[in-house]
């Protein structure tokens, strides 16, 4: 941990760092939670944790105005009281109603900032908030910095029990629907406390959330992004409010909204972002996004002195839809690059990750613009399936839709065998092929829609009579808006998980 360089942060007054407080959740055993704050230089700080199941104490000295204590492992549960005392000033602070469980960090742009009050069936969702007091929420304030901060410059929502007011506040303020619903669904599976930390900002590119060293690996050092999206269905004052017309220096949000959290021990992270890169450094996203994940993992591991796993699970949402008639908005390429061009997750480049496919969740009538679909329940449910399988190692949990296992060419047909049993409906334009005669497959005009001729339990037969020889490439759902709500052609046998878009050369 680095120490603050400004003397006003080294106040003699005893206090916790910004993201500790009553009602908080700390990471449970086997990991050890890290607690830190400020005090009088040279003073001894004594920390005690008391509750019905555990009583112990730790101590540390204040060095350069900072004290830091790594707790002994604590099993899931609570509540506990956490008390710190400073011997030289005979002062103390008590935090009450502290729980131990799993902490998930939620980041990204406006689809992560999209609040519970904005979702479909918001009234019903908000009415359930108080029924889940052991799912606790925290939200960092929107702040930027040209240098790495050690503590948050502001807090939007301090650690709190969930309420309808906090979850459904003003649009795109607090609290994240995807984050909250994920935590709620996960709690219903695990039945122990879940802590949710939201740190996101609408309209932001991945470069703003990445450390310079991560951008360096993709040749993006020192880049400046100018991000702009327009949508006639959304009033301009709203569009400006969620910062879709903005200029972002690289690492501004990493410095102010992620770096201050590194000492926190976490279980994993969720991410919903990519729209802002559909027109900016799009072709670099297959490098910049995985590089950001790698760097976050390294930084949180080091910041927590090894308590956060070096390969902590990372879940993300593949982009949904935006413009129904536009093939040039970059969404299809970003969807592919979100997987490091593998088409699925986890994969060899992005290990211990999981992906929620959202391409079949369009919302043309969303009051917030079609780029902001209201169906966050489905997104969260798919993320939880991924978390249960990848982060918690549950066996026999299906979390991925069918994906091609092999392709066989036979004169006028292509036989695609999938890796699992599927439920498919006919489509004449979901699949496209590129014929190799004097073509490079770079332009849309070079691709030909081909019909699904026969559907089996594990295979689909495509008619490719238009192609005089074996196709050079095959792609599926390679459009911004390829199907209606939950009506894409291929799903898992239970019709829950769609096959993601893919490109096979």
Mean pLDDT of 171-182: 94
Summarize pLDDT for 416-474 with one digit per residue, the tens. 999 999 999 999 999 999 987 666 788 888 899 999 999 999 999 999 998 878 899 99
CA dist 276 and 281 (Å) reads 9
Number of Cβ atoms within 10 Å of the Cβ of 231: 17
Are residues 23 and 8 in contact, defined by beta-carbon separation less than 8 angstroms?
no
Q: What are the tens digits of pLDDT across the range 224-248? A: 655 544 333 333 333 333 344 356 7
Kindly tell me if the per-residue pLDDT of 223 is higher than 90. Answer: no
Mean pLDDT rounded to a whole number for the chain: 91
What is the residue whose two structure tokens read 């101590």? Answer: 59
Superfamily of domain 7-99: Immunoglobulins (2.60.40.10)
pLDDT band at 324 (very low <50, low <70, confident <90, very high): confident
CATH code for the structural domain at 100-391: 3.40.50.1110
- What mean pLDDT is predicted for residues 190-216? 97
Q: Are strands 268-272 and 314-317 parallel, antiparallel or unpaired?
A: parallel
What are the tokens at 228?
Answer: 């702009």
Residue 400 has pLDDT above 80, yes or no: yes
pLDDT recorded at residue 8: 39
Q: Please report the pLDDT score of residue 225 as a whole number.
A: 59
> Cα–chain-centroid distance for residue 127?
25
Q: Which residue has the tokens 């979901």?
A: 430
- The whole-number pLDDT of residue 53 equals 65
DSSP symbols for 389-400: IIIS--TT---S
Confidence of residue 326 (pLDDT cuts 50, 70, 90): low
pLDDT tens, 406-417? 999 988 899 999
Domains 7-99 and 100-391 share a fold: no
- Angle (CA) 350 355 356, round 5°: 170
177 within 8 A of 198, measured Cβ to Cβ? no
Quick one: pLDDT at residue 242? Answer: 39
Higher pLDDT among residues 224 and 122, named by residue? 122
Residue ranges of domains in the chain: 7-99, 100-391, 404-504
Percentage of the chain surpassing pLDDT 70?
91
Q: What is the pLDDT of residues 336-367, one digit of tens each?
A: 999 999 999 999 999 999 999 999 999 999 99
Q: What pLDDT shows up at residue 386? A: 98
Section 95-114 average pLDDT: 97
How many helical (H) and strand (E) elements, i.e. helices and strands, does the chain have? 10, 26
């Amino acid at each position: 941990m680095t120490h603050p360089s400004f003397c006003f942060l080294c106040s003699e007054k005893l206090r916790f760092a910004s993201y500790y407080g009553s009602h908080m959740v700390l990471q449970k055993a086997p990991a050890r939670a890290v607690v830190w704050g400020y005090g009088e230089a040279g003073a001894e700080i004594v920390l005690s944790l008391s509750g019905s199941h555990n009583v112990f104490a730790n101590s540390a000295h204040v060095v350069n105005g900072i004290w830091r204590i790594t707790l002994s492992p604590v099993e899931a549960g609570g509540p506990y009281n956490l008390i710190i005392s400073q011997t030289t000033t005979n002062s103390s602070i008590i935090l009450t109603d502290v729980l131990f469980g799993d902490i998930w960090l939620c980041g990204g742009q406006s689809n992560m900032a999209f609040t519970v009050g904005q979702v479909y069936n918001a009234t019903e969702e908000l009415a359930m908030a108080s029924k889940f007091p052991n799912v606790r929420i925290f939200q960092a304030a929107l702040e930027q910095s040209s240098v790495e901060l050690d503590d948050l410059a502001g807090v939007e929502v301090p650690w709190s029990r969930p309420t309808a007011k906090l979850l459904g506040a003003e649009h795109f303020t607090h609290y994240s629907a995807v984050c909250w619903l994920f935590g709620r669904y996960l709690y219903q599976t695990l039945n122990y406390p879940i802590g949710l930390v939201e740190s996101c900002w609408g309209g932001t590119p991945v470069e703003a959330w990445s450390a310079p060293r991560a951008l360096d690996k993709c040749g993006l050092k020192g880049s400046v992004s100018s991000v702009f999206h327009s949508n006639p269905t959304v009033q301009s004052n709203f569009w400006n409010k969620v910062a879709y017309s903005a200029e972002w220096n690289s690492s501004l949000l990493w410095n102010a909204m992620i770096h201050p959290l590194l000492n926190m021990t976490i279980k994993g992270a969720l991410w919903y972002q990519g729209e802002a890169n559909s027109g900016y450094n799009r072709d670099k996203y297959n490098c910049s996004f995985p590089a950001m994940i790698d760097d976050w993992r390294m930084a949180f591991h080091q910041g927590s002195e090894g308590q956060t796993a070096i390969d902590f699970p990372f879940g993300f949402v593949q982009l949904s839809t935006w413009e129904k008639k536009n093939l040039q908005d970059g969404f299809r390429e970003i969807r592919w690059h979100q997987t490091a061009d593998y088409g699925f997750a986890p994969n060899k480049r992005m290990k211990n990750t999981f992906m929620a496919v959202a391409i079949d969740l369009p919302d043309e009538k969303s009051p917030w613009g079609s780029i902001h679909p209201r169906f966050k329940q489905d997104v969260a449910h798919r993320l939880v399936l991924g978390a249960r399988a990848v982060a918690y190692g549950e066996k026999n949990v299906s979390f991925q839709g069918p994906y091609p296992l092999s392709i066989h060419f036979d004169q006028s047909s292509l036989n695609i065998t999938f890796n699992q049993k599927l439920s498919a409906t006919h489509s004449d334009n979901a699949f496209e092929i590129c014929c190799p005669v004097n073509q490079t497959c770079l332009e849309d005009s070079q691709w030909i829609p081909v019909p699904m001729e026969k559907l089996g339990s594990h295979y689909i037969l495509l008619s490719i009579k238009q192609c005089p020889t074996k196709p050079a490439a095959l792609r599926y759902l390679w459009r911004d808006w390829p199907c209606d709500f939950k009506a894409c052609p291929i799903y898992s046998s239970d019709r829950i998980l769609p096959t993601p878009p893919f490109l096979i050369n």
